[in-house]
């Protein structure tokens, strides 16, 4: 279900975006990943996910976001991940909450910023 697409070239090569293709069978059904965000001072990566309409409503977005967040903390070693969610996007808000993200305030117009930090991520993992 998961294939690393790679980083997108940016003028600031130290902080590239990271995108993953969401694969079901032989077909790409969407993307998930982390992009540099301007919210909260512009120092964070924002979790994103987009699925084709026929792939929605089956839990793929939640699973893709969960995997992208694990990659952010375990591989990229980020301190926190944010998500700027449109005020009318109940589905994205539900996924963020299920992934342990917490609303911290307003973001760009019409959005709420959700945050999860590395410490909370590690606490939510089963013991090895």
Q: Which run of H or of E encompasses 71?
A: helix 60-74
Given a cut of 50, whether residue 10 has pLDDT beyond it is no
Q: Which run of H or of E encompasses 95?
A: helix 90-98
For residue 78, the number of C-alpha atoms closer than 13 Å in the C-beta half-sphere is 26
By residue count, the chain amounts to 128
Contact 81, 45 (CB under 8 A): yes
Q: pLDDT tens across 22-74, in order?
A: 888 888 888 888 888 877 777 789 998 888 888 788 888 888 899 899 989 99
The superfamily (CATH) of domain 2-123 is: Gcn5-related N-acetyltransferase (GNAT) (3.40.630.30)
pTM of the predicted protein model:
0.77
Q: Which phi and psi (to 5°) does residue 34 adopt?
A: -130, 130
Q: Where are the domains of the chain?
A: 2-123
- DSSP state letter for 54: G
Query: 104 CB contacts (<8 Å, ≥6 apart)?
Result: 40, 113, 114, 115
* pLDDT for residue 9: 46
For residue 72, the number of C-alpha atoms closer than 13 Å in the C-beta half-sphere is 34
* pLDDT for residue 123: 67
Give residue 21's pLDDT band: very low, low, confident or very high (50, 70, 90): confident
More confident residue, 50 or 125: 50
Given a cut of 70, whether residue 108 has pLDDT beyond it is yes
Euclidean distance between CA atoms 64 and 114, whole angstroms? 17
């Amino acid at each position: 279900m998961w294939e690393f697409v790679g980083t997108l070239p940016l003028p600031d090569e130290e902080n590239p975006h990271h995108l993953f293709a969401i694969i079901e069978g032989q077909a790409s059904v969407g993307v998930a990943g982390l992009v540099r965000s301007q919210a909260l001072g512009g120092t964070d990566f924002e979790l994103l996910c987009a699925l084709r309409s026929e792939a929605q409503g089956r839990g793929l977005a939640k699973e893709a976001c969960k995997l992208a967040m694990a990659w952010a903390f375990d591989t990229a070693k980020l301190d926190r991940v944010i998500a700027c969610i449109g005020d009318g996007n109940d589905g994205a808000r539900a996924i963020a909450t299920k992934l342990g993200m917490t609303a911290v305030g307003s973001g760009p117009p019409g959005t709420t910023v959700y945050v999860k930090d590395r410490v909370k991520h590690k606490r939510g993992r089963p013991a090895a």
